[in-house]
Amino acid sequence: MLSVVLFDLDGTLTDPAVGITASYRHALTEVGVAVADDEDLTWAIGPPVRDNFEAYGLAADLVEPAINAFRERHTAVGLFEAVVLPGIEQLLDDLRARHVRIGLATAKPRPQAVITLEHFGLASRFDVVAGSRADVHSMPKAEIVAEALAQLGDPDPAEVVMVGDRHHDVEAAHANGVMAIGVRWGFGPDGELEAAGADRVVATIDELRDLLDTLTVPA
């Protein structure tokens, strides 16, 4: 029976598109790279920041300054430009009412994740918050999930699910032996979650609630 649900943050619990894309544009401009206002940067929501700048093709000597510029703007402004997705608060409350423990596992630096949860009034619903360490620009998502599970006392993997919108979430869940539920309302391209091997994929928050309800019913 399900006893723990881990959630990704960006694209899963919140729509952070405005803040994240604006922070990437700011960072690229800061290192001398012109970005058109209509260039779609939503592909960068979810993966580690370093990976995104490298995928964008930044010269190696510009990656570190770009990361710093992104983090500075995003911490000061971008975090607060997100919105909590409708239905998420009720979903979290329903899980807590069923005595399911809830954890956050995000590629964001943990301090940013804590600020986000506190700002949007979600912090009290989470038992643990795991994210990248402040002294590391990016950590493998599998390590972050492992840290969340360790904070929860290493529960039986058979009683844990990870919910996220990108392949990193699916792969990290499986690396830790837990079920991966992919959500289509995030920012992954079509087919990404299935290709990554998600155990289940849901299209709406109502579908996710129904699925989690079935998993919390004793066999």
DSSP SS3 for 165 = coil
Mean pLDDT of 195-210: 97
**What does the CA dihedral 175, 187, 205, 74 come to, rounded to 10 degrees?**
90
Would you put residue 58 in left (φ > 0), alpha (ψ -120 to 50) or beta? beta
pLDDT digits (tens, 9 = 90+) for 42-56: 999 888 889 899 999
* Verdict on whether the full-model pTM lies above 0.95: no
pLDDT at 29: 95
8 is annotated as an active-site residue? yes
Task: Write down the pLDDT at residue 139.
Answer: 83
pLDDT tens string 61-76: 999 999 999 999 999 9
Q: pLDDT tens-digit profile of 81-121?
A: 999 999 999 999 999 999 999 999 999 889 999 999 999 99
Domain boundaries, the chain: 4-15+83-215, 17-81
Whether the per-residue pLDDT at 136 is higher than 90: the answer is: no
Query: Would you state the pLDDT for residue 62?
Result: 96
Q: How confident is the model at residue 7 (pLDDT cuts 50, 70, 90)?
A: very high
What pLDDT, in 10s, does the model give residues 154-187? 999 999 999 999 999 999 999 999 999 999 999 9
Indicate the class that CATH gives domain 17-81.
Answer: mainly alpha
Judge residue 114's burial from the number of C-beta atoms within 10 Å of its C-beta, 0-12 exposed, 13-18 middle, 19 or more buried.
middle
| Beta-strand pair 101-109/4-7 | parallel
Report the distance separating Cα 199 and Cα 75, nearest Å: 34
Q: State the amino acid at position 108 in one-letter form.
A: K
Marked catalytic residue, from 8, 10, 165, 169: 8
Q: Are 92 and 122 within 8 A, CB to CB?
A: yes
CATH 2.60.40.1180 fits 4-15+83-215, yes or no: no
Give the helix ranges, DSSP H, for 57-140.
60-76, 88-97, 110-119
The Cα–Cα gap between 205 and 187 comes to: 15
Q: Which pLDDT belongs to residue 137? A: 56
User: With 80 as the cut, is the pLDDT of residue 218 above it?
Assistant: no
pLDDT given for residue 30 in this prediction: 96
